[in-house]
Amino acid sequence: MQTTSSPARPAIRRLRDRVMGCWLGKAVGGTLGMPFEGWDGPLDLDFYRPVPTEMLPNDDLDLQVVWACALDKMETIAVDRHVLAQAWLDHVEFPWDEYGVAIRNLKLGLKAPLSGEYDNYFVHGMGAPIRSEIWACLAPGDPATAAAYAYEDGCVDHAGDGVWGEMFLAALESAAFVESDPDILLDEALSILPPESVTGRAVADTRLWYRELRDWRAVREQIIASYGSDNFTYAPMNIAFTILGWLASEGDFSQAICIAVNCGKDTDCTGATVGSLMGIIDPDGIPDKWLAPIGRNLVLSPGIVGLDAPDTLDSFTDLVLDLSARLAGKMPAARSYEQSTADLAFPVQRAFVDAFPTRDEPPVFDAPQTVMLPGNYARLRSSDFPKDTLLLRYEFSLGEAGETCVVANTRERSRVWLDGRFAFGRSGGEMVPSPHRAPGDQVTNLHLDAGRHELIVAMEKPAGGADLEWVVVVADGGTKIWRPWAFLPGHPSKAE
């Protein structure tokens, strides 16, 4: 029998099997859910559709491989947010949601946790919770340490429930190395969350609703009603789906991953996370029918670059076990920095008009004010509208000509003109301000010359006294990676 212990941890039975089960379950669940990422649900899957010939690459696992390789290079190993931040810059070329914002922030010179908090519409996204397993495997049976490691990771590109969601899952999965009772595990993991965590409330409600209703579809409707979002990667909603899949499965791996994925939304993440949890609790409980099609090769996404990674899940498991032994439960002690975002504010011209402008000509700015926006993500209170329509004139600069993606996303009625020509507009809709998946009527992709460009945005005052929210992005048209200095052409970080 395999048993490993340390002064701070209980003995772990079959440690290697459980770590291997974690990664196999992660690969199976992610491969099941990936083709349906972003679908609303409910779905009706009972097996892979289509049946794969290998595991599908997924950022859920990709980034954990990057972290393991980064830690392995350290002479004195420690889980450190700044080491992980450098790994983002060295090895990750993902433009998606909070990833794109964080990479932009790191290029602007911000350090974690400010790199995760600043100007980030997606702070509560699933990008960090999906990376929880490595911290559980580095601190098995030690939920407090696993959660502390998860904070070091999550704060690089998230804040709030994005970070708390990762801490919750890391604690849950760590405790699952020594306990299998769902009530005990949930009590343990929930205890690390602050009272203001929406994730904590969503999990507690899901637990109660399933206990009362015993019907995952009915509970799913309750989750959507209470925690739904127009952003399908919203962490509290998806973590609730993950917990629902686990509770409703009654210990059956196939049921767990299918129920989680069939809830819809961030399906690769929910399937992968519940799959890893089930693999830790019962590594023998993953049926061969799920394992045979995907094999054991470790397949990474093309957006992971410059990395000498393990080529199989077996060798990745060995690497993680070695890192765990080297860490020996050492808590993080990250350096802190005095930081300011004052030099990241930029000027725009602002005016208000009564009538919403037609698309034929850019609107005229009567008596405009120059105001400083704190970043690309901005808000204006309804009470600050002296008239019904807000006009903003942005200037941005490109260092070289090329294909460019321009996003101006708000939930309200809007119209946008680029260099004097109408670009796009709509009567209102969802807000998903990421270059790779912004609503089609809130984005344009076109060739722009080097030099200065003018962007005019008209937005209508929200109804019902709500705040106006909007995000403006300039990104590379091919990669969809933010152009960090588009609105800050003279910022010192550009020369570094």
The domain that holds 417 is classified in CATH as 2.60.120.380
| Together in a domain, 310 and 355 | no
Does the bond joining 182 to the residue before it have cis omega, within 30 degrees of 0?
no
Residues 6 or more apart whose CB falls under 8 angstroms from that of 385 comprise: 352, 461, 468
Q: Is the same domain home to 205 and 257?
A: yes
Please check whether residues 245 and 392 belong to one and the same domain.
no
User: Are both 233 and 360 inside the same structural domain?
Assistant: no
Assigned domain for 336 exists: no
Counted domains in the chain:
2
Tens-place pLDDT, residues 356-366: 999 999 999 98
Residue 439, pLDDT score: 96
Mean pLDDT (whole number) for 342-354: 97
Average pLDDT over residues 317-334: 96
CA distance 172 to 168: 6
The mean pLDDT of 198-218, rounded to a whole number, is 99
Indicate whether 172 and 290 sit together in one domain: yes
Q: For residues 92 and 100, what is the distance between their CA atoms, to the nearest angstrom?
A: 10
- In degrees rounded to 5, what are phi and psi of residue 426? -165, 170
Tokens coding 59:
């950022």
Q: What is the pLDDT of residue 369?
A: 97
Identify the pLDDT of residue 10. 72
Chosen domain end from 294, 327, 360:
327
Query: Are the C-beta atoms of residues 466 and 428 closer than 8 Å to each other?
Result: no
Does 299 fall in a domain? yes
Does residue 171 share a domain with residue 88?
Answer: yes
Residues 164 and 301 in one domain: yes
282 annotated to bind ligand:
no
266 is in an annotated binding site: yes
Is the confidence at residue 153, as pLDDT, over 90?
Answer: yes
Question: CA angle, corner 334, sides to 333 and 337, nearest 5?
Answer: 140
Please tell me whether 60 is known to bind a ligand.
Answer: yes
Instruction: Give the tokens for residue 196.
Output: 């203001």
Of the candidates 197, 121, 128, which has an alpha carbon nearest to the alpha carbon of residue 157?
Answer: 128
CATH number for 126: 1.10.4080.10
- Per-residue pLDDT, 492: 87
State residue 9's pLDDT score: 66
**292 inside domain:** yes
Same domain, 230 and 373: no
Same domain, residue pair 348 and 306:
no
Tokens of 254: 């196939």
* Whether residue 348 is found in the same domain as residue 322: no
State yes or no: 441 annotated in a binding site: no
pLDDT tens for 161-200 read 999 999 999 999 999 999 999 999 999 999 999 999 999 9
Q: Could you check whether the bond before residue 194 is cis, i.e. omega within 30 degrees of 0?
A: no
Structure tokens of 38?
């972003």
Beta bridge partners of 404: 446, 476
Q: What is the DSSP string of 340-351?
A: --GGG-EEEEEE
Q: What's the chain's average pLDDT? A: 97
**Residue 286 falls inside a structural domain:** yes
**What spatial distance separates the first Cα and last Cα of the chain, rounded to whole Å?**
54
Domain assignment present for residue 467? The answer is: yes
Q: Are residues 353 and 286 in the same domain?
A: no
- Supply the pTM of this predicted model: 0.96
Q: Is the bond into 113 cis (omega within 30 degrees of 0)?
A: yes
pLDDT digits (tens, 9 = 90+) for 386-419: 999 999 999 999 999 999 999 999 999 999 999 9
pLDDT digits (tens, 9 = 90+) for 36-72: 999 999 999 999 999 999 999 999 999 999 999 999 9
Q: pLDDT band at residue 334, thresholds of 50, 70 and 90?
A: confident
pLDDT, tens digit, 9 for 90 and up, residues 260-305: 999 999 999 999 999 999 999 999 999 999 999 999 999 999 999 9
β-bridge partners, 408: 472
- 204 within domain boundaries: yes
Query: Are 366 and 456 in a shared domain?
Result: yes
The last residue of one of the domains, among 327, 358, 392, is 327
**Does any domain span residue 309?**
yes
- Domain of 251? 15-327
Final residue belonging to a domain, choices 292, 327, 362:
327
User: 14: which DSSP letter?
Assistant: T
